[in-house]
Amino acid sequence: MSSAEKLGGLGIIPKRKRQKVTEVSSSHSKHEVRFQNLIIFIVERKMGSSRRMFLMDLARKKGFRVDDVLSDSVTHVVAENNSWNEIWDWIQNQKLSNADKLKVLDISWFTDSMAAGKPVDIEEQHRLQERKILQSNLPLASPVVTISQYACQRRSTVNNRNKIFTDALDMLAENFEFNENDGAFVAFSRATSLLKSLPYTISRMANLEGLPCFGEQTKAIIEEILEDGVCSKVESLLCDEKYKARKLFTSVFGVGLKTADKWYGQGFRTLEEVKAAKDLKFTKMQKAGFLYYEDINSAVTRPEADAVGQIIENIVQECTPDASVTLTGGFKRGKVKGHDVDFLISCLKEGKHEDLLHKTVRKLDIQGLLLHSDFMEATLEKRKLPSKQYDAMDHFQKCFLILKLNKALVNNRVLSVPSVSAVRPTNKEAEPEVNTKIKDWKAIRVDLVVVPAQQFAYALLGWTGSRQFERDLRRYTHHEKNMMLDNHGLYDKKKKVFLEAKTEEEIFAHLDLDYIEPWERNA
Ligand code: DCT
Ligand code: MG
């Protein structure tokens, strides 16, 4: 599929084709109202009358009641590209008797409801943000707002309104990372991350005015996509032999860029060629990567992550009843899919966790649930200053696993006895089980990290991600607060002390940052 097709499928139509969509006529009288207890009013300001008509029509077709004028009957006010302050000021001037009862919502609540075919529950991300408007009356410009250059001072939910641009920038950033072009990688990563936090879709270049993190190169990409709907650099990357091989080879668990480049240099282009090569030696991890390739490359779903969590929790509790298992990573940020499932294991009592990880993995093996494990022992005995590198690996004991998840456990969360074929604590990597008739299980990548109680909040903050959020949090800490942060702790360079924290909220407070919820860290 070309990137044009991919981007076209995202519901954003390039400039030239856009006008047609807005010419839908209003025919609401024909549609039955299915949801009697809410009446929507859509604010035209900064949305435009044709888009407003289109949205009103859409909602009416789906059984919602939408009123043309704001009156006391209205229950839900929906706005796009406006801050809460702006809408609230406007509502105050409408002299309503029930203004305080009105639900003042962002367009994301409306679009989520349209997608669900019913009014969805109002979540925090559906509320309009309070924002300081610097220039609100620029013709053609969206609200230009004070947006921080640091992702840790922005709220980025999974509701990315600029996917058409971020897909392109992410891919180009990834290629810069492959080529070790750190400057361009950082510049593109910051630009794409900023777009993910915007409460509106970029629809013209004027929307970028006043935003940090954009330079000539990144602006040119946006401009091209606005003009043509596609980015020529992305188009050519998708046809680039080296990029394609690097993507393909690094999609195998255990294969990093160095190995991918080696295979590419040796002339290999497909996984079949690599697997068939006589003189290539694979690590234990790579062998597992090839064996469970299909499963590992089909995303883990949230119900699968929950089922794995239940298994791990039961086993950890059997080993040490006062230990806790905490889901982290992308799923904690509200993602519905991930490439793996990340868990922190922690004990209330000091020292009790010493053998916990090995015991847990042994039990998984005995229950026939272990397909692969790769331990990394803790590498830090005494407290050290946090690393100066924003991307540095932490020192916790951890294990990278591939688990065999019985599909019957997904959704119903009943822990059944493993099937007879599964209860064999043998070397699973040698078994050709992947090819058996009915495969009632899925191989799932799981990371387990053992964390001492007093470092738990820092580890949780670090492992919740996203990668860009963490990088910017550390950069902010260093540049703005003269402190150093990593997954183990926070060091105040001026006072020369480590700052203790029991919760993530306390860490944000140490850094004088407004608390950003995990689901707002999808930077
Ligand atoms: N992380 C970390 N140290 C590592 C690896 C990861 O601090 N050695 C952080 C950064 C993100 C987070 O942990 C989870 O990592 P991933 O699982 O790679 O990312 P994810 O956000 O969970 O994304 P995915 O859904 O693809 O798993
Ligand atoms: Mg993850």
User: What is the reported pLDDT for 436?
Assistant: 55
User: What is the reported pLDDT for 351?
Assistant: 66
Q: What's the CATH fold of domain 240-281?
A: DNA polymerase; domain 1 (1.10.150)
Is the pLDDT at 18 greater than 60? The verdict is: no
Share of residues in the chain with pLDDT > 70 (%): 86
Q: Is 8 left (phi over 0), alpha (psi -120 to 50) or beta?
A: alpha
192 pLDDT band, cuts 50/70/90, is very high
Architecture of domain 462-520 in this structure: 2-Layer Sandwich (3.30)
Q: Is 335 in the pocket of ligand 1 (CB under 6 A)?
A: yes
At 410, which amino acid appears?
A: V
CA distance 182 to 149: 18
- Give the model confidence (pLDDT) of 428-483 as tens digits: 444 555 555 789 999 999 999 999 999 999 999 999 999 999 999 999 999 999 99
Is the pLDDT at 136 greater than 70? The verdict is: no
- Give the model confidence (pLDDT) of 373-419 as tens digits: 999 999 876 778 898 888 788 999 999 999 999 999 997 655 444 44
User: What is the reported pLDDT for 392?
Assistant: 80
Are 451 and 344 spatial neighbours (Cβ–Cβ below 8 Å)? yes
128 pLDDT band, cuts 50/70/90, is confident
Q: Is 467 in the pocket of ligand 1 (CB under 6 A)?
A: yes
Is the pLDDT at 130 greater than 90? The verdict is: no
Q: Is 338 in the pocket of ligand 1 (CB under 6 A)?
A: yes
Q: Where are the alpha helices (DSSP H) in 10-161?
A: 15-18, 49-61, 84-92, 107-116
CA distance 492 to 478: 10
Provide CATH code, domain 300-453: 3.30.460.10
Are 91 and 60 spatial neighbours (Cβ–Cβ below 8 Å)? no
**Ligand 2 centre from 135 Cα, in Å?**
39
Is the pLDDT at 12 greater than 50? The verdict is: no
Name the residue at shortest CA distance from atom 14 of ligand 1: 329
User: What is the reported pLDDT for 421?
Assistant: 40
Locate the ligand 1 atom nearest the alpha carbon of residue 335 and give its number: 25
**Ligand 2 centre from 261 Cα, in Å?**
25
**What element of type H or E holds 232?**
helix 232-238
Residue of 156, 328, 342 to test ligand 1 pocket, by largest number of atoms within 8 Å of CB: 342
Q: Which residues are catalytic?
A: 340, 342, 447
Is the pLDDT at 309 greater than 60? The verdict is: yes
- Give the model confidence (pLDDT) of 317-339 as tens digits: 999 999 999 999 999 999 999 99
- Give the model confidence (pLDDT) of 236-253 as tens digits: 999 999 999 999 999 999
Q: Do domains 3-132 and 462-520 have the same CATH topology?
A: no
105 pLDDT band, cuts 50/70/90, is very high
**Ligand 1 centre from 467 Cα, in Å?**
7
Smallest-distance ligand from the CA of 341: 2
User: What is the reported pLDDT for 433?
Assistant: 54
**Ligand 1 centre from 447 Cα, in Å?**
9
User: What is the reported pLDDT for 426?
Assistant: 45
Q: Which one, of 445, 473, 479, lies nearest residue 460 by Cα?
A: 473
At the top level of CATH, which class does the domain 151-237 belong to? mainly alpha
pTM across the whole model: 0.72
At 260, which amino acid appears?
A: A
Residue of 177, 251, 340 to test ligand 1 pocket, by largest number of atoms within 8 Å of CB: 340
Q: Which one, of 463, 465, 496, 467, lies nearest residue 482 by Cα?
A: 496
Are 369 and 418 spatial neighbours (Cβ–Cβ below 8 Å)? yes
CA distance 49 to 38: 22
Sign of the C-alpha dihedral computed for residues 385, 386, 388 and 389 taken in this order: positive
Q: Is 400 in the pocket of ligand 1 (CB under 6 A)?
A: no
CA distance 63 to 333: 32
Q: Report the length, in residues, of the chain.
A: 523
Residue of 401, 463, 466, 486 to test ligand 1 pocket, by largest number of atoms within 8 Å of CB: 463
Locate the ligand 1 atom nearest the alpha carbon of residue 464 and give its number: 12
Q: Is 334 in the pocket of ligand 1 (CB under 6 A)?
A: no
Smallest-distance ligand from the CA of 474: 1
**Ligand 1 centre from 413 Cα, in Å?**
25
In whole numbers, what is the pLDDT of the chain averaged over residues?
A: 87
Q: Taking residues 82-86, report their average pLDDT.
A: 84
Ion ligand 2 residues within 5 Å by Cβ: 329-330, 338, 340, 342
User: What is the reported pLDDT for 325?
Assistant: 97
Collapsing DSSP to helix, strand or coil, 325 comes out as strand
**Ligand 1 centre from 329 Cα, in Å?**
5
In this structure, whether the domain defined by 3-132 belongs to CATH 3.30.70.1280 is answered with no
Name the residue at shortest CA distance from atom 2 of ligand 1: 463
Q: Is 518 in the pocket of ligand 1 (CB under 6 A)?
A: no
Q: Is 21 in the pocket of ligand 1 (CB under 6 A)?
A: no
Q: How far is CA 253 from the centre of its chain?
A: 20
Q: What is the DSSP letter of 4?
A: H
- Enumerate the domain spans of the chain: 3-132, 151-237, 240-281, 300-453, 462-520
User: What is the reported pLDDT for 38?
Assistant: 94
CA distance 179 to 392: 19
User: What is the reported pLDDT for 331?
Assistant: 98
Q: Is 253 in the pocket of ligand 1 (CB under 6 A)?
A: no
Q: Taking residues 125-145, report their average pLDDT.
A: 53
Q: Is 394 in the pocket of ligand 1 (CB under 6 A)?
A: yes
At 26, which amino acid appears?
A: S
Q: Is 229 left (phi over 0), alpha (psi -120 to 50) or beta?
A: left
Q: Is 339 in the pocket of ligand 1 (CB under 6 A)?
A: yes
128/334: higher pLDDT: 334
Q: Where are the alpha helices (DSSP H) in 239-350?
A: 241-250, 257-265, 271-276, 284-291, 293-297, 302-319, 329-332
